[in-house]
Amino acid sequence: LLGSSSADYSAGTGAVEEAAVSDERPPGLLENNTFVDAGASDFVDTRSDALSTFALDVDTGSYSVGRTLLQQGHLPPPASIRPEEWVNAFEYGDPPPTESDLAVQVDEGLAPTTSDGTQLIRVGVQAREVTEQDRPPVALTLVVDTSGSMDIRERLGLVKSSLALLAKHPRPDDTIAVVTYEDNAKPLLEPTPVSDTETILGAIDGLRPGGSTNLEAGLRLGYKKAREAYRDDAINAVVLASDGVANVGTTGPHAITKRIAEAGAEGIHLVTVGYGMGNYNDHLMEQLADQGDGFYSYVDTFAEAERLFVTDLSGTLTTVAYDAKVQVEFDPAAVASYRLIGYDNRAIADEDFESDDVDAGEIGAGHDVTALYEVQPAEGAEPGTEVGAVTVRWQSEATGQIEEQTVALAVADPSAEPTDQLALASTVADFAQFLKGAEPVRERGVTLDQLAHRAGALQAQGVDGAVELSRLIELAQRVR
């Protein structure tokens, strides 16, 4: 596993028996959840380590979990917050590539609320678009959790309405198979052309909750069916819809993820979609996606399901860059220290950056990924001084070749206004880190009032995403 931490946050006892759930009151939103704190990086002295290397990550589950809890009047647990997933939940409008799979954009500016000249560097990676008409056909295997815990607050109802969206936007060469699991796993629907909407919708509508949760059995059968339905000309993917709770068979993330890592190498990718809060295992869902060469989303509303399965369907399913990773090299003569915000469980050894055997991140069509660095310039570094370079490396889905892009980094002009992209990303990152209780943000004196002011200014400028960000900061102010 990539840099996984062992510090668990469990508000309660973790997984519970579904039989007990049906006899007693449902758990509260903050009860029986499992989050793992990925940590928070500190500043690194450039003289001792001038290289920063990590796998790109398009997961957004942590943000959607936090949004759900704030909207329900709760602050998200600090361990639930992975700042990069909050940042990557917003769109920054970076220009798409013209001749490659990925385009790299860099912005520099003064860090808000700083008094010591600390600067921010935003590295934006934008993937090429693939239209619905141009994407390859899809062979989907849906693995649906129908255990008793999916009856809590109608989770399965949202799952059913979400998955039904996949059958309502058919392409004649797409297929869908369905596997369900509770005590055991069962095949519900063999691979069926999406044009047979009635059959697929009937299978989904017939899902009913009950029993314990044998997640391992569900994934085993799901991958078996995906292998049987494998098509060389298609996108082959398993979509897991679950609350992540596993209490029968193999239940730990390490044991389960070991069994699915090989499937990614076979060209079958895993998308994990989380549902429900209160008896929810965020850590397992996130780690499954990381090891299954896919990504992790959390669906809290039907609107989020529409974004995932309709608006962004090509990006959800179509990978354009495999094993995408970043290495930033700072010049110790120009940079005294630096700090990568987030990606704490996605670190890669510097010497493995050019190794094609090291697993990294997969980037879907149209996805944009952002990484933020806080940088403390060395004494005497003038605006415009080159401070280093960022290199993005990946394997192209289109050609199978390894590709790289390198962009120079420079000291920002302290008098220049930050770009809208940098201002939005830094406000989101500071908000996430504030909720997490990250020490570097506390030291800069960041407050919710300041964040509300910054988000309000972005909203007044018409920056996309600022309205939702302002609303969430306001909710956090009310809760506190």
CATH number of the structural domain spanning residue 207: 3.40.50.410
Q: Answer whether residue 15 shows pLDDT above 60.
A: no
In a domain, residue 475? The reply is: yes
- Judge if 310 and 324 occupy the same domain: no
Is residue 439 predicted with pLDDT exceeding 50? yes
Examine residue 192 and state whether it is found in any structural domain, yes or no: yes
> What's the chain's Rg over C-alpha atoms?
22
Q: Are residues 260 and 353 in the same domain?
A: no
pLDDT tens figures, 108-121? 999 988 878 899 99
What φ, ψ does residue 349 adopt, rounded to 5°? -60, 135
User: With helix as H, strand as E and coil as C, how does the chain read?
Assistant: CCCCCCCEEECCCCCCCHHHHHHCCCCCCCCCCEEECCCCCCCEECCCCCEEEEECCCCCHHHHHHHHHHHCCCCCCHHHCCHHHHHCCCCCCCCCCCCCCEEEEEEEEECCCCCCCCEEEEEEEEECCCCCCCCCCEEEEEEEECCHHHHHHHHHHHHHHHHHHHHCCCCCCCEEEEEEECCCEEEEEEEEECCCHHHHHHHHHCCCCCCCCCHHHHHHHHHHHHHHCCCCCCEEEEEEEECCCCCCCCCCHHHHHHHHHHHHHCCEEEEEEECCCCCCEHHHHHHHHHHCCCEEEECCCHHHHHHHHHHCHHHHHCEEEEEEEEEEEECCCCEEEEEEECCCCCECCHHHCCCCCCCCEEEECCCEEEEEEEEEECCCCCCCCEEEEEEEEEEECCCCCEEEEEEEEECCCCCCCCCHHHHHHHHHHHHHHHHHCCHHHHHCCCCHHHHHHHHHHHHHCCCCCHHHHHHHHHHHHHHC
346: nearest Cα among 82, 56, 40: 56
In the predicted structure, residue 330 carries a pLDDT above the cut 80: yes
What share of the chain has pLDDT > 90, as a percent? 77
The token pair that represents 434 in the structure block? 């504030």
Residue 302 has a CB neighbour count (10 Å cut-off) of: 12
The domain boundary, picked from 294, 317, 340, lies at 317
Q: Are residues 117 and 195 in the same domain?
A: no
Residue 261: CB atoms within 10 A of its CB come to 15
Q: Pick the residue with more confidence: 78 or 132? A: 78
pTM, rounded to two decimals: 0.92
Q: Is the same domain home to 182 and 51? A: no
Residues 359 and 227 in one domain: no
Burial of 148 (0-12, 13-18, 19+ CB in 10 A): buried
* Residues above pLDDT 70, as percent of the chain: 93
Cβ partners under 8 Å of residue 5, min gap 6: 36, 37, 38, 39, 344, 345
Angstrom distance (rounded) from CA 140 to CA 63: 26
* Residue 1 included in any domain: no
Residue 18 included in any domain: no
CATH (domain of 435):
2.60.40.1230
| 6 pLDDT higher than 90 | no
Region 450-475: what's the mean pLDDT? 98
- Same-domain status, 446 and 358: yes
In this structure, is residue 20 part of a structural domain?
no
Q: Are residue 177 and residue 262 in the same domain, yes or no?
A: yes
Q: Is 2 part of a structural domain of the chain?
A: no
pLDDT computed for residue 117 by the predictor = 86
Residues 275 and 337 in one domain: no
Same-domain pairing of 282 and 327: no
Q: Final residue of a domain: which of 285, 317, 349?
A: 317
CB 209 within 8 A of CB 236: no
First to last CA, the chain: 35
What would the mean pLDDT of 90-101 be, rounded to a whole number? Answer: 95
Q: Which domain holds residue 330?
A: 44-130+320-479
Spell out the residues 6+ positions from residue 236 whose beta carbon is closer than 8 angstroms to its own.
139, 226, 229, 230, 267, 268, 269
Cα four-point dihedral sign 451, 457, 458, 460: positive
Is 143 within the bounds of a domain? yes
pLDDT, tens only, 175-234: 999 999 999 999 999 999 999 999 999 999 999 999 888 999 999 999 999 999 999 999
Number of domains within the chain: 2
CA separation (Å) from 97 to 130, 383, 459?
12, 28, 28
Question: Do residues 274 and 396 both lie within one domain?
Answer: no
Q: Do residues 304 and 258 share a domain? A: yes
Looking at 286, 317, 348, the residue that finishes a domain is: 317
Digit-coded pLDDT (tens) for 413-423: 888 899 999 99
390 and 437 share a domain? yes
Where residue 316 falls among pLDDT bands split at 50, 70, 90? confident
- Give the pLDDT confidence score for residue 3 in this predicted structure: 35
The answer as to whether 5 is a domain residue is: no
